[in-house]
Amino acid sequence: MTDGARPSGALARQAEWLARYEPGLRVAERGKVVSVGDGIAWISGLPSAAMDDILSFEDGSRATVFNLTGDLIGAVLLHQTDALTAGTVAHLGGRSLSIPVGDALLGRVIDPLGLPLDGQEAPEHEAYRPLDTKSPPIIARDFVNKPLYSGIKIIDTMIPIGKGQRQLLIGDEGLGRSSIAIDTVINQQGKDVRCVYVLIGQKRSTVINTMQLLREHGALEYTTLVVAEASSLPGLQYLAPFAGCAVAEQWMFQGRDTLVVYDDLSTHARTYRELSLLLRQPPGREAYPGDIFSVHARLLERATCLNASHGGGTMTALPIVETQQGEIAAYIPTNLISITDGQVYLDRERFAGGFRPAIDIGRSVSRIGGQAQHPRIKEEAGRMKLDYLQFLELEVFTRFGARLEASMEAAIHRGRLLQQILKQDRLTPLPVEFEMAWMVAFNDGHLDSIEPEQVAGVLGKLQQQVANSDLRIDDPREQWVDAVTRWLPSPKDTGSAAP
């Protein structure tokens, strides 16, 4: 071949390999499957195997090393064929577990190994990233200093979330934890935030419903779904949150803002308990293995805000955890509360009472979100949370028919107004400009003359006015006050008088 027609691509690599090849004696380890079942395989041989190594089986199955004993290797299956039985030959794969990452994953549905689940071609990846890696060091981190808006009034004002924060969504099943996470993802449209939604051990109908909701609201184009269905191998369900974290981590180190949702870590903990018991690891509290805390801490510590010298990217994490009968002090919820930077607690009584989202302000907290809150929002929100909690205490007196002072009646009326204002339907995230408008209106007493039943109609008109105006969150408060005064209907128009 002449110099002008040199091979390229795969041919060049093959020619280079042939040029370096030298025949000689090579030694390779060879293991054998002793038993297989329930997503677990026990293998003899392979004395050089280490934790998290990939094992390749003769029939095409794959597994990762999860437990090492004196004479056997416990491996978690990642791919299993019908031909995998006792006696199948196993080899070391020679690499650790990793997943393809990059922009090609946007709008795609993949499994924890990066294989497509949406019926399309495999995405062309730009790089691989290990599933389990160390979190960024302290010197690479910065303080959380930018807000991440959920579009939910009660969260953005009283339980704010900052970019790089880890905020736990906690509550019983069926109270709207996933709805809050989906609303937050939908609200990132046009805000240059890339999202990863991890579904762990969910039913296929739930997966399809989530995908359709994101697609209908235009959110799938900037989101990657990492799915390990309930029918998938336990090993894939265990790896799913680490895979989603690795996908988001790649964008974070490129200097982008990312949001990752883990739905949910209760199922993940149960899967890890199942695998650990099958692999004969000693059980601890509630039969969970002793290292379940470190597993979740290792995962959530990777969500952070990088400083400018490391790209300035952020990864915000919204882990979801389930409680039983509202028991917040159970083992896994307590662990996650201590790991994260705050929690949004959903209460069944408020849900049954028709308050949506059913967030219990008294049990919810954001430890660092206030530092990232926009100054205007922070100024208006001010004492709103404390005043609302005082209203909830005062409201108890009204149930006994007690005669109240005028000042107390006025405080209860404003509390009931605020309670109505904070109600919000799912899949209706709101812009931050509207949140500024209703807070100015509430704080300046523009809503005091209406009854709580009229709040929804007044806010609807206010939202239309905000959408048609050029006011932005950074504009002076005086401009907001003038605009709100013009927009809101007078007490005469609402047909009610001040209490």
CB contact at 8 A, 137 and 160: no
Rounded Cα distance between 245 and 248, Å, is 5
Rounded Cα distance between 254 and 274, Å, is 36
pTM, rounded to two decimals: 0.91
Structure tokens at 317: 């994490």
| Beta carbons within 8 Å of 108's beta carbon, 6+ residues apart | 116, 118, 120, 123, 224, 225
Rounded Cα distance between 320 and 267, Å, is 10
Residue of 404 and 333 predicted with greater confidence: 333
User: Could you tell me what percent of the chain has a pLDDT over 90?
Assistant: 75
Rounded Cα distance between 451 and 125, Å, is 57
Instruction: Check residue 6 and give its pLDDT.
Output: 59
Comparing CA positions, the residue from 237, 275, 243, 233 lying closest to residue 80 is 233
- Phi and psi torsions of 425, nearest 5°: -75, 160
Per DSSP bridges, beta strands 193-202 and 365-366 are: unpaired
Reported confidence tier of residue 237, pLDDT bands at 50, 70, 90: very high
pLDDT > 60? residue 4: no
- Cis check: omega of the bond before 123, within 30 degrees of 0: no
The yes-or-no answer on residue 367 being catalytic is yes
Lowest mean pLDDT among 87-101, 292-306, 388-402, 447-461: 388-402
pLDDT tens sequence across 383-399? 788 888 888 888 877 77
Structure tokens at 238: 């265990």
Rounded Cα distance between 476 and 197, Å, is 37
CB contact at 8 A, 272 and 238: yes
Instruction: Check residue 260 and give its pLDDT.
Output: 97
- Using left for φ > 0, alpha for ψ between -120 and 50, and beta otherwise, residue 341 falls in alpha
- Cis check: omega of the bond before 264, within 30 degrees of 0: yes
To the nearest 5 percent, what fractions of the chain are helix, strand and coil? 40, 20, 40
pLDDT tens sequence across 336-350? 999 999 999 999 999
Instruction: Check residue 163 and give its pLDDT.
Output: 96
Reported confidence tier of residue 382, pLDDT bands at 50, 70, 90: confident
pLDDT > 60? residue 490: no
Per DSSP bridges, beta strands 365-366 and 342-346 are: antiparallel
For 18, 22, 58, 397, 428, the CA distances from 26, given in Å and listed in that order, are 17, 11, 19, 84, 63
Structure tokens at 419: 């309670």
Average pLDDT of 216-244? 96
Reported confidence tier of residue 1, pLDDT bands at 50, 70, 90: very low
* Tokens 């389990």, located at residue: 132
Rounded Cα distance between 300 and 247, Å, is 14
Q: How many C-beta atoms lie closer than 10 Å to residue 294's C-beta?
A: 13
Average pLDDT of 40-67? 92
Reported confidence tier of residue 368, pLDDT bands at 50, 70, 90: very high
CB contact at 8 A, 432 and 473: yes
Strand order in the sheet with 342-346: 109-110, 223-229, 193-202, 257-263, 314-322, 168-171, 342-346, 365-366
Neighbour-count burial of 83, counting CB atoms closer than 10 A to its CB (0-12 exposed, 13-18 middle, 19+ buried): exposed
Q: Round the average pLDDT of the chain to a whole number and report it.
A: 91
Rounded Cα distance between 499 and 494, Å, is 14
Active-site position among 350, 356, 367, 477: 367
CB contact at 8 A, 244 and 316: no
Q: E strands within 139-280?
A: 168-171, 193-202, 223-229, 257-263
CB contact at 8 A, 88 and 32: yes
Residue of 377 and 488 predicted with greater confidence: 377
Rounded Cα distance between 209 and 230, Å, is 15
Q: How many C-beta atoms lie closer than 10 Å to residue 27's C-beta?
A: 4
Instruction: Check residue 27 and give its pLDDT.
Output: 81
Reported confidence tier of residue 3, pLDDT bands at 50, 70, 90: very low
Q: E strands within 38-178?
A: 40-44, 53-57, 62-68, 72-79, 89-96, 98-101, 109-110, 127-130, 168-171
Identify the three-state secondary structure at position 208.
helix
